[in-house]
Structure 1
Amino acid sequence: MEYIISIFQGISDLGSTLMLPVMFTIIGLIIGCKFSKALKAGITVSIGLIGINLVMNLVYNNMEPVADILVSNFGLNLKYLDVGWAAVSAVAFSTLVGAFIIPYILALNIILITLKATRTINIDIWNYWHYALTGSFIHMATGNLILAFLGATVHFVASLVVADRTAKQVQEVMGIPGISIPQGYAAATVPHSVLVGKVFDLFSKNKDVTTADAEKVNRFKENEWVKTVTDPIYIGLIIGTAIALIVGYDLKSALTVGISMSALMYLLPRMAKVLMEGLLPISNAAKAFMTKRFKGQEFYIGMDSAVLLGHPTTITVGLVLMPIALLLAIILPGNAIIPLAGISSMQWDVAMATVIHKGKFWRTLVSGIIGTAMVLLISSYFGPYITQFALSGAISIPEGATGISAMTVNLFTFIPHILANIHIIGPVVLVALILGLALWNRAWLKKQTNLSTTEFIDADASSYTEK
């Protein structure tokens, strides 16, 4: 055991910039990539990480004093800046847990499919960072790698259960056969959305209110004013400048802060695309690896929740949630995060809610408000951990910075973390959750008929993002 731990520690000691090329080269070779492609994948991921570090330094040089004034002069305990999923995904992959998460999750997925505990083949390699982040939080809190991977496993298995049980709804609402959504964030929004639906069913006389009108939504989206205020660049400029003016900056200084926030909104997703570009050869090899081994079986292809974003209700509710999220950040007791990067991607928060509610606007909106409140509180809870990751070198922030977090952590991250920190009982409950969820899903799948086929085995998520 000590030998295994020393191997893990030796890889970790390389630092994220070197660790990622080494690990991705090894992983790529294992699943069938050519050496040159695997090596280039790892180097490309590291380049994306370095780019994110450069952007974070720029942002903190401008935003950290503003956050300090909000805390000290206004009594607002908004000490964490929301840097969004792009920065945190880089954090997740650059940790010790993140270095091994891809082969671990692939192996676990194969085992669960073989045992008929899931029908979902999760080829969405990029979004494995959600499971890595859950495990990394636990590793930071406990120092225990076994607990860390148990926590990541709970998140993954829970996501598969949600994916299997919502697959037919996803296919019906979006009109895309053969898919499911095991993405770690989207899956975590399903439990409260289901509860909202049940409450509405108790009181609603008309349970079949139709979806938002697609034509009206498209006209609304094309309105020049709407296009301006919902553009991530303008969101960064407006929010950054407004906050700086509120704390007493002059117009020139406030606009400088606003421009730096625009840089965050514009550059971070592009650096994340570099990371994703690096992962593409690994993802393609993993897809071929999995489908070859399960050829002829019936299963769902696990896709990114991006395939859901084109629904009119998702678009409409996402726009409405933008100002609501800012208001909640101010009035919600216990919140400590300033929403920024997450504001421009509120559609992701309700992508699965739209599916659960079959496009019903008010149900989806209520689910979105509840989900946003939960995410604000959970991201506030994890603020110290994400900041510590940054200070430890996973991503760079200047010394003395107030802190960072991201509105991407969720219930499936929070619950394993709480359990892992309960001595003795917690680890037992984690194991029980993994086994219980797997067996429960296996029993449920046995009862299902008309399961998905492999018709869309070669489907490309990008083909459906505008569906």
Structure 2
Amino acid sequence: MEQLTPMVQAFLALGPTVILPVFIFFIGLLFRVKPAESFRSGLTIGVGFVGINLVVALLVDNLGPAAQAMVANFGIQLTAIDVGWPGSASIAWASPIAAAILPIGLLVNFVMLVTKTTKTMDVDIWNYWHFTFCGACVYALSNSFIMAILAAVLFEIAILKIADWTAPYMETYFGLEGISVPTGSAASYATIGVPLIWLIQKIPFIKDLKADPASIQKRFGIFGEPIFMGLFLGIIIGALAGYNPGKIIQVGMAMAGVMVLMPRMVKLLMEGLIPISEGAREFLQKRFGEDSENAKIYIGLDAAVTTGHPAVIATALILVPLTLLMAVILPGNIVLPFGDLATIPFFVAMIVAAARGNIIHSVIAGVVVISISLLIASFMAEFQTSMGLMAQFKMPDGAALISSIDQAGNFVNFVNFIIFQIFALFA
């Protein structure tokens, strides 16, 4: 099985812009969509993801260094370095169980669709690394291939169920009909963040605080538009990073660009997805009836499709400095936020949707959830460090410990890990 790992890694290295169109083409054929139309849908979706990846790169390439400059500017020093999702993913794919996760994950998803235990068809193959990481944790704990695979499968089942649960937000708030988000990080943050939003919106005074893009635009006119929000928040981030005036404006322009360009790229992706969604709906309605709930199916995509919404970007940009503040003052935290600071838009997407775009409520919930994630990541730091050493991961210069907010701080992964840790003690 280990010999297959390089082949799996080479396949996944093609990226969603290649893998996704191929999967969409075959899914279209499965649902009796005409071959030419399926091919065009796959191609359009691939082009949409090319655009999304370019905009995400614009976000990460500007927000990431700015956030890291803040760390240096404020002189923050903590024991464990957050290596971000790229570091965690590379550790996951280097695990002995990695080659088995892709076929087993696809099989589990298929069985759940057939048995109607999920409505999400997860075509976001690259993000199977979250399932792999969970399994790799248990493999390092138990040295048991079977237990590791079981852990990965349980994590996948939980993520697919959360994706079903949050799918209505994709349509009602983001306007993405027939889409769900089975991304491990976004789903994990939703499990705590969505109930928190419900609680926050019951608290006197706080529940009446309102700051969503529509109300901001109404109050500030043209200066409340997303393009100006991006510029303003980007300038603040650049200033906190200690940049010179020219660099501050560059960050502001980049964030303004993300605010404007990402929704247009998502619209292009949805254009390609519509024929497949309609084909799937017609196929299932013929078998389960026109009004049957069983006729619903969601196409599971990367949380990147949500990150261009103005409220998501605004919430994330505000949370970057707040995350650094929480890392310093939170008792028990040893993790220095670093690699995953630019990934915060993925973490808060479902929280923002649950808050119906209320940035104030989303930031409050985000602070709580990220604080919990930092404590979990601190608990998992020694364990992820040992996993990294086994995977021959190149440690950051001067780092004794590594961790990650994305996956080591993932609440669902943590619960799963603790269950298997308890089981290992009594086995």
User: If the length of structure 2 is used for normalisation, what is the TM-score?
Assistant: 0.66
2:220 aligned with 1:220, yes or no? no
Task: Give the deviation of 1:362 after TM superposition.
Answer: 2.2
Whether 1:193 aligns to 2:193 is: yes
Report the counterpart of residue 387 of structure 1 in structure 2. 385
Question: 1:239-388, aligned counterparts within 5 Å?
Answer: 296=284, 298-388=296-386
Aligned equivalents of 2:114, 2:330: Cα separation in 1: 45
Distance in 2 (alpha carbons) for counterparts of 1:349 and 1:343: 10
| Displacement of 1:203 | 2.4
Q: Which residue number in structure 2 is paired with residue 56 of structure 1? A: none
2-structure distance, mates of 1:386, 1:196: 28
Distance 1:398 1:156, change over 3 A: closer
Q: Is the 8 A contact 1:329 1:339 kept in 2?
A: yes
Shift of 1:426: 8.1
TM-aligned CA distance change 1:23 to 1:364, over 3 Å: closer
**Contact 1:420–1:426 under 8 Å retained in 2:** no
- Partners of 1:103 and 1:402 in 2: how far apart? 35
Letter in 2 for 1:126: W
Q: State the Cα distance separating 1:113 from its structure 2 match.
A: 0.4
Identity %: 27
Quick one: which amino acid aligns to residue 149 of structure 1? I
State whether residues 137 and 387 of structure 2, in contact with CA within 8 Å, keep that contact through their aligned partners in structure 1.
no
Distance 1:173 1:388, change over 3 A: same
Distance 1:423 1:379, change over 3 A: same
The match for 2:100 is 100
Distance 2:426 2:107 in 1: 24
Q: Distance in 2 between matches of 1:136 and 1:117?
A: 25
Residue 357 of structure 1 deviates from its aligned partner by 1.4
Q: Return 383-392 or 121-130, whichever deviates more.
A: 383-392
Distance in 2, Cα, partners of 1:385 & 1:142: 12
Following superposition, the deviation at residue 162 of structure 1 comes to 1.2
Give the root-mean-square deviation of aligned CA atoms.
3.7
- In the TM superposition, what is the alpha-carbon distance from 1:423 to its structure 2 partner? 2.9
What is aligned with 1:159? 159
Contact kept in structure 2, 1:196 and 1:363, CA below 8 Å: no
Q: 2:81 aligns to what SS in structure 1?
A: strand
Matched, 1:88 2:95: no
Q: Which amino acid aligns with 1:93?
A: W
User: What is the Cα deviation at residue 319 of structure 1?
Assistant: 1.1
Number of the residue aligned with 2:212? 211
* 1:173-188 to 2 correspondences below 5 Å: 173-188=173-188
- Equivalent residue, structure 2, for 1:11: 3
Is the contact made by 1:313 and 1:360 (CA closer than 8 Å) also made in structure 2? yes
- State how far apart, in whole Å, the 1-side matches of 2:229 and 2:100 are: 45
Quote the Cα distance in structure 2 between the aligned partners of 1:168 and 1:193: 16
Q: AA paired with 2:172?
A: E
Q: Deviations over 1:4-31 (max 9, x none)?
A: xxxx4x538xxx6677449999xx9xx9
Q: Closer, same or farther in 2 for the Cα pair 1:393/1:163, shift >3 Å?
A: closer
The answer as to 2:136 corresponding to 1:136 is: yes
The Cα shift of 1:80 comes to: 1.1
C-alpha deviation, 1:324, in angstroms = 0.8
